[in-house]
Structures are given as structure tokens and as C-alpha cells.
Structure 1
Amino acid sequence: MTSTSETKFSVWALMAMVVGSMVGAGIFSLPQGFGRVTGPFGALIAWSIAGVGMLMLAFVFQVLSRRKPDLDAGIYAYAKAGFGNYLGFLSALGYWSAACLGNVSYFVLIKSTLGLFFPVFGDGNTVIAVVASSVILWSFHTLILKGVKGAASINTIVTFAKIIPILLFIVFVIYGFKADVFALNFWGGEDVSFSNIASQVRGTMLVTVFVFVGIEGASVYSRYARNRNDVGVATVVGFLGVLCLLVLVTILSYGVMLRTDLAQLRNPSMAGVLEAVVGPWGAIFVSFGLLISVLGAYLSWVLLAAEILFSASKYETMPRFLSHENKNGVPSHALWLTNIIVQSFLIITLFTEYAFRLAIELTSSMILIPYLLVAAYGFKLAWTGETYDRDPAGHRTDLIRGLVALVYTSGLIYAAGAKHLLLSLVLYGPGTILFIMARREQGKKVFTPTEMIMFAIAALGAAIAIFGIATGRITI
């Protein structure tokens, strides 16, 4: 697409992409998600680790947007520039898969919320829930086909609208906060030991990753920015604002209900917390706010998912049919493929008991490799000194930030565990067919020797995971 002045995004629109992408289903499920595994002490440690780690990653995005302004669709382009075609492809595939799975979680949570008032929707994974979700899915599909700019404008408005209910939730919960309840919850259990606290913190890592997914929103849409410096500003400011909301929602909830009760809440668990403070209308209020929030976040994620396929195709790492644009300048083939996959995942939710939790965990798992590669590229750039010979400002600081981001993202993969890594390979392995198609279209050798080894590992891991699911050794 040729970016004209009419399609350029302001810093506010880019910031709305970041906030809109991050503030979705995750924040409304935090009280239950954290309550299942830890208390306030463990939660504060988890948010400190996640906050510092993701802030360093945000700084990496900021630095790369300034030092590599020619690399559009950041999260994919950075991986390719730093580590070659196949890892660049895997970054694009992982990010796109995470976007698709994230959208599934939004639909499940929407219907689970409606299930509070209309039992036919259950926990969001009934036949009626899937049918209703499908109607919303294809309605948004039609809207986006009419133009990306219009959809992004709607996203900006919705982003501001959905922050208001969250802020009011925080105000009401502060009013209902009970110090004695908070004290009883503080250690997260009777066994106060380093190993227990460490286990609690590890148990929250995938939850924190899920709520931070979207931090790269401005970077992905960097080709639309009026000013490339706005990309970094939007990323860091948007991240800090959302982090404050996430911490407040999590910690304040421990002062309203006992941890065991928080763990038993159905999602959106923020509704149950507010109901405990103000009565039944609190659940209705949060549910209404969630519907606005999730629909807005879904719009952001559909845009991001289609954009990453489109850009990868333009960079000749995805098949060329994905670079097709309709008369409105929308990457329509990429959008169709995205929503067909989302529809397929929605159908799969009929066969899993904990559809929302599974969607969260798989979304977090799929985004880990793309984040790791961005952090590694930021560190590599500072380590080798590329671009710093002509602009040495902040070299040492960028090196430290890149290293911290790299250690953090590596730690996330460890925290996710072998199960989630294997499940992610179920998508990475077979998904490589798109890479093979693209390379053959260009008449190029598919893999280098190193890339062949990486593909063999991915394919083997996918086979092990599929065998594990089939035999019941890996449960979903």
C-alpha cells in the first residue's frame, strides 16, 4: 500500500494501537488469573519482573524504530534483518498465530460474560456462543475491508471509551479495600519459603505475557506513522500507562476477597470483585466495560494480524498472494486467511473445557519466539556497533537494555515449560509450508544448512506434540 497523507497515523493513533491491543481480555481476568497461583507479595514480584523486562523490550522497539527506520512492520522485519529468512518467517508466523489465538480468547470471554446473564452461552464454548462469535467475526471482517484508516479511527475512539470503566473499577475497589483481607492474602499460602514464592511467580509469567501482548502495536504499523520518532514514544508511553492499570487491578483485588475466592471466580473475574464491593450492578458494569474493551482490542488485533502477513509477503517471506490489496488499500487476502483461521480455532473451543485459559496460554507461547528475536536483534545491533559509528549516543545504555530484554524473554520461554513450547511447534512446524511456497515462487533455495536444522527440530517437536495430544500425555 502506498502511504499517503490521508493514511498517516498521528502519535495519538499509534498510542491507541498500543493501548488498544494491550487492554483487552487479559486485564478483566487478572484477579482470577493471579488468585489461582499467588498472593500480593508474589504478584508484586511478578509485576516488577514483567514490568522491567517488558519496559526494556519497549525501549528496544523504540531504539530499533529510530536506528532502523527502513524496517517497517517491526517485529517481523527485525527478526529477518538480524537472523535471516527462516527465523524472520517464524517471527511473522508466531506473531500472526498469537494474534489469531488472542482473538479467539476475546470471543470466548465475550460469550462467557454474556453467559452470566444468558446461560445458553455457558463459558463461551457452547454451540450458540460459537455461532454468535462467528457473526461478530465476519461483521468486523466486512468493516475492515472498507478501509484500514476508518477501522483505526474507530479503534482510537473505542480505546478511550474502554479505559473509563477500568478507572472507575479501580476507584470503587479502593473504596472497598480491606487491609485485614489483604494481609491474609499477602503470602499466597501458609508455606512462606523462597521455593514457594518462586513457584508462585513462575505460575504468573504466561498471564503477564498475555496482557502485555500488543506492546509492538505501533511498531507493526510504523509504515503509517507521520513521524518515525512517534513509534517509540507511543510504545513506551502506552506501555507505562497500561502497566499502572494492570498492577492496580491485580493488587487491589486482594483487598476485597480472599485469594481462594478470587481463584474460584468465573471470568471476567473483575466483575465478581466489583460485585463484592457494590453489589450485583457491579458485575453488569464491568461486563459492559469488558464488551467495549474486547471488541476494540479485537479490532486492533485483526488489523495487526493482517498487516504482519501482508508485510511478510511484501518482503518475500510469505507467499505473494498475501500481498494482494483490494480497492480500499486493505490486505484482503491476508485478512481472509486470518479470519478463516480464527473461525477454525473457534470451532475447536467446542472440544475443550477451559477454552479461555487454553487460548491465553497458547497466545503467550506463540509470541515468545518473536519477542525473543526482537530482543536479540536489539542486543546484536548494540553489540556489533552497527549504526552507532555515525550516531554513538546511548550505545552503552542500549546494550544494557537489549541484554536485559534478551534475558527476560529467554526466561519466559523457560517459565512456559516444555508443554507450551511443544504446543507452539504444532503451529511452527506445519506452518513452514507457507515459507516453502514463498521460496519456490521466487525460485530460491528453500533452506540454508542451518535453517534446515531449525526446521527439522520444529518438525520433530510438532510430531512429538501431536503424538502426546493423541495419547493423552499432553492435555489441552
Structure 2
Amino acid sequence: MAKADTADAAPPTAKLTLMTLTAMVVGSMVGAGVFSLPRRFAQETGVAGALIAWAIAGTGMLMLAFVFQSLAVRRPDLDAGVYAYAKAGFGEYLGFFSAFGYWASACVGNVTYWVLIMSTIGAVWPALGDGDTLLAAVLSTIGLWAFFLLIRRGVKEATAINKVVTVAKVVPILVFVILALFYLDTSVFAENWGGADYAGSLFNQVRGTMLATVFVFLGVEGASVYSRHAKRREDVGRATVLGFLSVFAVFASVTIVSYGIMPMSEIAELRQPSMAGVLEYAVGTWGEVFVSVGLIISVLGAYLAWTLMAAEVLFVAAKDDDMPRFLRRATAADVPVPALVMTTLLSQIVLIVTLFSEDAFNFALDLTSALTLIPFLLAAAFAVKVGARHDSLTKGGKASARELVVAVVATFYTAFLLYAAGLKFVLVSFIIYAPATFLFVKARREQGKRLFSPPEAVLCAISVAGAAVGVAAVAAGWISL
């Protein structure tokens, strides 16, 4: 029998190598998003806009990857990256918001995985629809809790499975790119160049793709979230950059080569996963089956990685007294079970909400991206503070001018993404953020601390007001799910 959970014991921390950390980054980045890219981009823009969008997203996310690499070295005292950087830079309440927002984004993102799996199977089992039917929700629920039991067995076992799955799922994506290049029709590619069938300026076309690019790059911070498990601290930064560079070319290639297979207006109408429809158009039915099998492997691997990271954020936040004490409990196998239960429960709730959504997959995808932007923005802004001045906690002396420039660019990029997300998803994010303050209050009361400082009270009021506006907008139909 497994040993009982305990709040006070310090279980041995599993130590992960550079290869395993890199696999965690790649495993969390290569998930549902890459298989949906052809349709998402074709709905917004043509080849020219896609190239510009990937140039912007690639540069911005590379700057974020460098930020996490730099902070892992400069502030080795901080674990669980995104959350810890926000707290160190801007105080406990914003640190709490960052931890909760990052965790919530992971939970919502996990729902997109199950929706896409069910939509994929729905191509041959119509009762599953686009992954948003009652039967699909029931089967997804079984999957949610089956993975809970798997991860409950231990971190080492789960990360070992993830490493194998990461290799298995990259192969069909690479095969897709190679086959698409072989069947690429230059005349179709040229017709799709300008996106003439779509209204709006090139700027608006590019802006429309931004949340999709954020979603597929989520996970770039994966090694930093799991930093307390690294054998060597410097491996955290190396794994971050290696993971990013490994998948960036793949993501951009999947998008661009699809424009050379079929007209963008037809790509925009494909059911998800649209990559399967593109390959079917090129090579026949076996292409759809091949991609669909690869998707299921990919998505299950990404789900495993994201569930691990989500639970880790809650666990470390509780260890730092920023979440209630019950979340700091872990088993002898180093599994934070209460945090894992909360992660699975929120995913379950969001899964139920998708039954009432007009487009379950795209809504969950965009909401995941929007929830992540505030934690990313705070982490980048903290890197600016670290670069602008040196303190005794910063390792290696004053930051270089290059590090400061990288941090500034990353900050402006994430701020632009918030603008690109639009008011709709900012308000819906507040609906999720505001109730979380109850957890912050509970943690403060457990420690006998003052609930809010004056600045924190103002931030709390803003979040509650935003949530109220968001609820009113949904109720009135101004915002559709």
C-alpha cells in the first residue's frame, strides 16, 4: 500500500535530466494546437499574413524563452518559474494571480485535448459530433480520471511515459510536412498568397492569428515550471531554448505547406483536426487515418505533461504559503495529490461548460491563451526589473544589455497579445480569476496575515468588477461562448 499523504513530510524530489526536461517542453508544446493550425490560419489570413504572424510569434516567443533561460540562471532560488517570478517582482497578490491564472489555463487547455480527440473519432462515430456532445463529454470524463490515477502513481513514471510519447507523436507531424511538400501545388499556393477572400487589413489578419500562435507555444516555460526537479539548474534554461527551437520550425511548416495543398476557403471549412483533412485531400483516406492516430498519441502526451505542470504550480504556491495548506500535501512518490485533484476537477467543470459552447474547441483554445498572457507578462516584466538593477539575490552580477533588451521585447510582445486577444477574452478571464481570491484569503487567514494591502485591495476590486461585467456580458448575449 502507498504511504499516506502528509502535509509536513518532505518527500524526496525526483531529479530530471536535460533530455527529460526538454521532452517536457516539447511534449507540452506539441499537442492539440499543431493539428488545428491549417484551419485556424485559413480562417484569418493567407500565406503572406501567415508568414508575418509566424515571424512575430516566433520572435516574441523566442524572447520569452530567453527570458526563462536567463531567469533560471539569475534567480536559481525561484521554483515554478512563471508564478515565482511574478511574486518576486510584484508582490504576493499578483504572484497568486499568476499562479492561479497559469494553473487555470492549463486546466482549460487540457479540455481542448479531449474535445479534439472526440472530434477526431467523431469522423467515424457521428455520435461524438465535434467533440461537444453528451457522449463525448462522458467519454472525456472517463479519460480525465484515468489519467488522474496514472499520475497518482508517481512523477518518475509519468515523465518516463511522456518522454516516449514525445518521440512517437513528432513522427507523424514530420511525415505530414514531407508529404505536403511533395504534393504541394505552386498555383494553389500562389492563389492563397494574399488572403483576398478575407475582409480586413493585413494587420487585422495577422492579429486574428495571434491567440492561435500563443496556444501552440504554451509549454515553452515547461522546464522552468518543473525546475525543482532538475538535476542541474542550468539544464532548465537549455531545455527551454532547445524545446522552443525544435518545434517552431515544425509549427510554421505545418501552416505554410497546407496553403499549397487546397484552396484556403476549403481549408477554413475543414473539421478539426484540420491537418487530417489537408492530408486526406493530398493522398487519400489513409492520410486522414495516419494523422488522426498521430493526433491521439500527441494529445494524450501533451495532456500528461500539462497536468503534471498544473499540479506542480499549485503545490509550489502552497509550499510558499500563497495557496491554502492542504495543497502542499504530497505522497512518498512526490505526487501532490490535492493539487492534482483540483486540476482534474476544474478540467471537469470546463468540459461540462463546452456542452453549451457554439465552438467548444476554439473557445477553449482562445481562453487558454488569454489566461496565460497575464502570467507571461508579469514574468517578462520581472526580467526587466532584474536587468535594470542588481540585488543580492541575482546570481552572476548585473545583467547584460542583451538580457535587458530581450526582456523589454518580451514584455511588449505579451502586452500586444493582450490587445490582440480582445475585450471578450479579457472579461471571461476575469470571471475565472476573481473567485480565486477566496483561496488567497484562506491562505492569508491560515498565516494570520492582513488580508489585503491597499494596492492589493484595488487589484481585487478591479478583478471583481471585471468579472461582474463579464458575467453581465455573457448573460446579455454580448459575449457568446
Structure 2 partner of 1:284? 289
Is the Cα–Cα contact under 8 Å of residues 173 and 277 in structure 1 kept in the other structure?
Answer: yes
Answer yes or no: is the 8 Å Cα contact 2:11–2:330 preserved in 1. no
CA contact (8 A) 1:382 1:388 kept: no
The answer on whether the counterparts of 1:388 and 1:395 sit within 8 Å (CA) in structure 2 is no
For residues 142 and 210 of structure 1, what CA distance do their matches in structure 2 show?
27
Counterpart residue number, 1:319 = 324
Deviation at 1:328, TM superposition (A): 2.2
Aligned to 1:152: 159
Instruction: Establish whether residue 21 from structure 1 lines up as the match of residue 7 from structure 2.
Output: no
- 8 Å CA contact 1:3–1:224 kept in 2: the answer is no
Question: Which residue of 396, 404, 408 maps to 1:399?
Answer: 404
Looking at structure 2, the residues matched to 414 and 385 of structure 1 have their Cα atoms a distance apart, in angstroms, of 31
Quote the residue 2:5 is aligned against: none
Deviations 1:85-116 (A, max 9, x none): 00000000100000000000000000000001
Taking the aligned partners of 2:86 and 2:393, their CA distance within structure 1 comes to: 19
CA offset at residue 425 of structure 1?
0.2
Write the letter of the residue equivalent to 1:461. Answer: G
Give the Å deviation of 1:120.
Answer: 1.1
SS of corresponding position for 1:341: helix
Determine the C-alpha separation between the residues in 2 that align with 1:45 and 1:339.
37
1:75 maps to 82
- Alpha-carbon distance in structure 2 between the residues aligned to 1:174 and 1:259: 16
Deviation at 1:443, TM superposition (A): 0.5
Matched, 1:63 2:66: no
- Corresponding residue of 1:165: 172
Contact 1:109-1:356 within 8 A present in 2 as well: yes
Cα distance between partner residues in 2 of 1:427 and 1:313 = 19
Asked if 1:118 corresponds to 2:125, the answer is yes
**Structure 2 residue 345 is the aligned partner of structure 1 residue 350:** no
Q: What are the ranges of 5 or more consecutive residues in structure 1 without an aligned counterpart?
A: none
Asked if 2 retains the 8 angstrom alpha-carbon contact of 1:181 and 1:256, the reply is: yes
Aligned partner letter, 2:35:
F
Counterpart AA for 2:92: N
CA distance in 2, matches of 1:67, 1:455: 31
The match for 2:369 is: 364
Contact 1:67 1:387 in 2 (8 A): no
Distance apart, 1:394 and its partner CA? 5.5
- SS in structure 2 of the partner of residue 432 of structure 1: helix
State the distance in 1 between where 2:110 and 2:395 align: 42
Cα offset for 1:388? 9.7
Q: 1:265 aligns to what SS in structure 2?
A: coil
1:263-317 deviations in Å (ceiling 9; x for gaps): 0011000000100111011000000000000000000011011100001100111
Mapped partners of 1:463, 1:170: distance in 2: 46
Shift in CA distance, 191/429, structure 1 to aligned 2, threshold 3 Å: closer
Match of 1:133 among 140, 164, 169: 140
Which residue identity does 1:357 align to in structure 2? N
Query: 1:127 corresponds to which letter in structure 2?
Result: L
1:272 aligns with 2:277: yes
> What is the aligned partner in structure 2 of residue 39 from structure 1?
46
1:198 corresponds to: 203
Task: Indicate if the aligned counterparts of 1:58 and 1:236 stay in contact, CA closer than 8 A.
Answer: yes
TM-score (norm 2): 0.96
Structure 1 residue 352, shift from structure 2 partner: 1.2
Q: State the shift of 1:13 in Å.
A: 0.4
Displacement, 1:403?
0.3
Aligned residue for 1:264, secondary structure, equals: coil
Question: 2-side partners of 1:393 and 1:188: how far apart?
Answer: 47
What SS does the corresponding residue of 1:266 show, helix, strand or coil? coil
Instruction: Note if contact 2:162-2:304 (Cα within 8 Å) is conserved in structure 1.
Output: yes
Change (3 A) 1:297 1:159: same
Residues 1:99 and 2:78 aligned together: no
Alignment-mate amino acid for residue 246 of structure 2: G
Give the counterpart letter for 1:49 in structure 2.
I
User: Closer, same or farther in 2 for the Cα pair 1:72/1:371, shift >3 Å?
Assistant: same
SS at match of 1:76: helix
Shift of 1:49: 0.5
2-structure distance, mates of 1:11, 1:277: 38
